[in-house]
Chain A
Amino acid sequence: MDKIIRNLAIGLLVLMIFVPLGLLAVGETFGEWGTEELEEKLGFVPPGLEQLAPMWSAPVPDYALPGDESETGMVAAYYLSAILGVIICGGLLYFVGKKVARN
């Protein structure tokens, strides 16, 4: 493997170690509110959203394990999400890339 790829991968690993820092931020990103948050903000849920919301329920909503709200549980789930994301994104593109790449 190229040395530079290895070093960039190490960089990514270091980044992953610090990923729980992302949990420190309170509040939701603008426009990414869930239906409950909107209910709080507005006093009602926009009806179109209310209809669409149950269309899909994510297996790991908000990078947290449902039911476990303890601090360690949240950090563990966030780590797990990062690892899963890296493996799935990286793995998928690695195999697709290998298939389509020339020489």
Chain B
Amino acid sequence: MIPIWVYAGKKMSTELRSRQVPLLALAAAFSFVIMMFNVPIPGGSTGHAVGGAIIGIVLGPWAAVIAISVALVLQALMFGDGGITAIAANCFNMAVVMPFVAYYVYKILSGNTEITSSRRIIAAAVAGYVSLTLAAALTGFMFGIQPLLYTDANGVPLYMPYGLNITLPAMLLEHALGFSFLEALVTALIYGYIQKTDPSILYEEIKKSKRAKTRRAAPA
């Protein structure tokens, strides 16, 4: 995870405009708070949205890596949530896989539509749904391979006691049928709001205007 953080930090510092800085700060704070909203599901378990999709779409996936990682690391250190030894895995799934998947799903579904197109709101919602479901499935996979990899001499699991046959369906289903809809809703709501009020702060638009500027600056 450390090389990804270093690279993401570098990417962010070349891409980030000072106008976006308050947005970046808000994004990390938002991700922290949204993960505190535990939602119960039948079966006595709970889960939460991450906010990773909307952050990836608005700030770009690289800045999202940094923002969500900060929230996750703080959770683990201060509040014992997620766990110290799981920081790397958690950050990989929620702070890397999620914003990247979301950003590209959103981009592909948006195609060449106008930035104000309502198709983009649907694209954002689908991006939220798909990215959280995928991140959850990956987490389930990481849980499930632990008893295969780590057991003591007597075959007692050292860490995660449940195998893939339990962890993968558990993580996949509870997200695909529940939390991912919440993530989709949150993503669509915030996206719709930004699109309506000031789409110029969206990552894509900033990238586009930067390209236009360098083209203009180039000697004819």
Residue among B24, B32, B174 making CB contact with A30, cutoff 8 Å:
B174
Beta-carbon contacts under 8 Å, A77-103 to B: 78, 81-82, 84-86, 88-94, 97-98, 100-103
The listed residue (A7, A25, A84) touching B38 by CB distance below 8 A is A25
In the complex, identify which listed stretch (B67-75, B96-104, B109-117, B119-127) lies at the interface while the others stay far away.
Answer: B67-75
Chain A, residue nearest B157 (CB) = A46
Are B28 and A92 interface neighbours, CB within 8 A?
Answer: yes
Subset of 27 A-B contacts with CB under 8 Å: A4-B194, A7-B197, A9-B26, A15-B30, A19-B36, A25-B40, A27-B44, A29-B46, A30-B47, A30-B171, A46-B159, A49-B159, A58-B76, A60-B79, A60-B80, A62-B80, A81-B79, A82-B33, A85-B32, A85-B74, A89-B74, A90-B28, A91-B25, A93-B21, A97-B25, A101-B18, A101-B21
Q: Which chain A positions have C-beta within 8 A of B215?
A: none
Interface check B129, CB cutoff 8 A: no
B7 at the interface (CB under 8 A from A): no
A45 to chain B, nearest CB (A): 10
User: How many residues of B are in contact with the other chain, CB < 8 A?
Assistant: 69
Indicate the member of A24, A32, A93 with the most B CB atoms within 10 Å.
A93
Is B214 in the interface zone, CB < 8 Å from A? no
Q: Does B29 lie within 8 Å of A89, measured CB to CB? A: yes
Interface membership of B165, Cβ < 8 A = no
Contact with A along B69-94 (1 / 0, CB 8 A): 01100111111111111000000000
A102 touches B26 (CB 8 A): no
On A, residues with C-beta under 8 Å from B are: 1-5, 7-9, 11-12, 15-16, 18-19, 21-32, 38, 42, 44, 46-49, 52, 55-63, 78, 81-82, 84-86, 88-94, 97-98, 100-103
Q: How far apart are the CA atoms of A62 and B46 in the complex, in Å?
A: 14
Q: Which of B1-34 contact A (CB under 8 A)?
A: 9, 12-14, 16-34
B27: A residues at CB distance < 8 A = 93
Q: Which of these, A1, A58, A102, contacts B80 with CB under 8 Å? A: A58
Residues of A close to B33: CB separation below 8 A: 12, 15-16, 19, 82, 85-86
Contact A27/B40 with A1-B22, A92-B70 known, Cβ cut-off 8 Å: yes
Q: B44 and A26: CB pair below 8 A?
A: yes
In the bound complex, CA of A38 to CA of B157 (Å): 12
A5 touches B22 (CB 8 A): yes
